[in-house]
Amino acid sequence: MKISGSMKKVLEILFIVLAGFVLFNVAFIMAALVIQGLGFLSQSETQNPRLGMIFGLILLGLSWFILRSRLSTLVKATYFTMPLMSMIVVLGVLMNGLQLWMILACEGLLIGVVFGFIRMKRLAWEYHFATLYCTVIGISIIIFNIQI
């Protein structure tokens, strides 16, 4: 049985949504393990902000490796949701307490830069969808004040 072009796109969208959701959870569990693990090893009573930076560097290195690999565009675009959602959430957390319009403006600037990069690199539509998907989830978390 051959899958038509539109059905293939629907299946790709479903894959990005479902696998992206799993990757969001993996990213935050991984962040907690890295930050808590390094905090335990340092035996410090206070949370060191550098531990979050270490997680960011790990995520950045992993992203560079995966996005430059020979994996399919669908897999790379799906993976792209993880660091993008992490950036959206971290920016939202850092701006916690500011007025809603300021948070949305900064998040919008971040998403604008990402869309500009995708357009400049002429990446496939899957990257556009992955970015839109993360944007909708991230802005929903901010607007509806969902605690994660």
- Domain ranges in the chain are 5-143
Predicted model pTM: 0.83
* Under 8 Å between Cβ of 139 and 107: yes
123-145 pLDDT tens trace: 999 999 999 999 999 888 888 88
12-28 pLDDT tens trace: 999 999 999 999 898 88
72-128 pLDDT tens trace: 999 999 999 999 998 888 888 788 889 989 999 999 999 999 999 999 999 999 999
How far apart (Å, rounded) are the C-alpha atoms in residues 132 and 80?
12
How far apart (Å, rounded) are the C-alpha atoms in residues 65 and 36?
25
* Under 8 Å between Cβ of 77 and 126: yes
